[in-house]
Structure 1
Amino acid sequence: MRFTSEQRLDDGVLEREFTLGEIPGTLWTPASAPAPLILMAHNNGLPKGESRLVARARQSAAYGYAVAAIDAPGCGDRPRSAADEQARADLRRAMQAGEPVDEIFESFIAPLVENAVPEWRTTLDALLSLPEIGGPVGYSGWTAVGIRLAVVEPRIAAAGFFAGGYVPRAQREEARQVTIPLLFLLQWDDEGNPRQRALDLFDAFGSKEKTLHANLGGHTGTPWFEVEDGNRFFARHLK
């Protein structure tokens, strides 16, 4: 892991860009160390520097967590194949037209999850070797990647998922194997994710401790207080 830039924010949080092989990432660490770690993943294709993710990461770091985000293969500024670009365009067109999107989604998102999870695990190995990071690990963000990580990565102790009804078939099956404490956020009027699918997914999780928070509004309308509630959720399991 090679740090390429750093800046100290007003609240004392240290923000550093890094590269790990071909993986670009950002790490936010609080003034107090060592700190528990939260892996923060955004949805398919959005960059680690997306404003909503950065705001969540900085708030969680100020709360006392180390937070890391990476650009997965084909996401952010990382190269995308012509097939990926076509799949994204087809998915947007079908969703706007109200047409069935399951097969397009499956052909596009399932490989993205398969490629992203090994990179997250490699990143986790490197992060846990840093002296400023210690203790349990949490995950916050994109549901599809989070399900796979929760199943294959024993170091993750708790997870917060931003609910999406469109989850690849493999992850819908794997949901039953997720047993860690879980906070599931659902936007009731999400224009891009069917509500009933998200409710069915929540029901499928095997966790004995799982909580559903549902709020009115569209896909990007998650209330800010959910970030604060998420930090308290992680405090129960990571601190």
Structure 2
Amino acid sequence: MGCREGPHRDQRALDPVSVARRFHLNDVPGILWTPACASPSNPVPLVIAGQPGGIGMQAMHPRLAARAHAAARSGYATATLELPGAGERPRLPAVEEAGARLRHAFATDKPITADITDQLVLPLVDAAAPECSALLDELLDLPECNGIAGYAGGMIALAVRVAVTEPRIRAAVLFAGSVIPQSTFVEARDVTIPLHALLQWDDEHNDRQAALDLFDAFASTEKTLTANMGGHTGVPASAGAAADEFLVRHLAG
């Protein structure tokens, strides 16, 4: 078990400073991008790149690769795992049912009830958070990684769970834009690491007030909220650059 490379290893550089390697962690597919300069004599920090639920790593690959490209230029590695129920992983019927109920609520302009949110999000969080810890177990032992880790993006409820339960995560970038279970607000009170949150003010899939309330709940003494006008997919490049600078600052050394 553990990390093992897949049947092929993608050595094509995303750019002159980044190399991608596909692997499996206990049969779960993932990708690790490292700067070409990373080596046992020059190890680098690692950032876990989160993904939205239900889309899958193949569909997300262009966006993940772009984030890894920027990370490599800043001198740190990026890794991601396929989420439970996505890609070629077994379906989660209860989660898929909740997703259908969520889409119906959006289409009919009905409220998103707590039971829909919990059924949609919590099974994914409960399954994915331990996998994130297992990923850190494997990758932080690599000679090209220096043992320092951060988390960026994806499902905000999963990012909060990881920030609470995983002491190796030093800082996190949060993407506001998904439904939030009430239990996540409770967990947020125990988050103390530095945070940088991105919020699209007109996000059609995001309850703006819920995102603001969650940010207020975090116990971190250093936390920043960057809000930009625009919809769910309209995050400006400058916001990504600011998040990258935040990670560089907190993962250095």
TM-score, normalised by the number of residues in structure 1: 0.95
Q: How does 1:223-238 map to 2 (within 5 A)?
A: 223-238=236-251
For the Cα contact (< 8 Å) 1:72–1:119, is it kept in 2?
no
Unaligned segments of structure 1, at least 5 residues: none
2:10–2:20 CA contact under 8 A, matched in 1:
yes
- Of 30, 44, 68, the residue aligned with 2:79 is 68
1:113 to 125, 133, 138: 125
Q: Provide structure 2 residue ranges, at least 5 long, that are not aligned to the other structure.
A: none
Show the 5 A alignment for 1:147-158: 147-158=160-171
Question: What's the CA shift string for 1:52-93, capped at 9, x where partnerless?
Answer: 222112221222111001112112331213333322222112
Summarize deviations over 1:152-205 as a string: whole Å, max 9, x none.
100000000001362112211110110000000000001011111111111111
**Which deviates more, 206-215 or 1-10?**
1-10
Moved more, 78-87 or 184-193: 78-87
Equivalent-residue separation in structure 2 for 1:76 and 1:236 (angstroms): 34
Alignment size in residue pairs: 239
Aligned to 2:141: 129
For normalisation by structure 2, the TM-score amounts to: 0.90
Partner of 1:45: 54
2:28 aligns with 23
| Residue 209 of structure 2, aligned match among 169, 191, 196 | 196
Deviating more after overlay: 116-125 vs 164-173: 164-173
Are the counterparts in 2 of residues 135 and 238 from structure 1 also a CA contact under 8 Å? Answer: no
Quick check: 1:146 aligned with 2:159? yes
- Are 1:26 and 1:48, in contact at CA under 8 Å, matched by a contact in 2? no
2:189 match: secondary structure? helix
Q: Give the Cα separation in 2 of the matches to 1:78 and 1:187.
A: 30
Q: CA deviation at 1:98?
A: 1.4
Q: Look up the match of 1:7.
A: 11
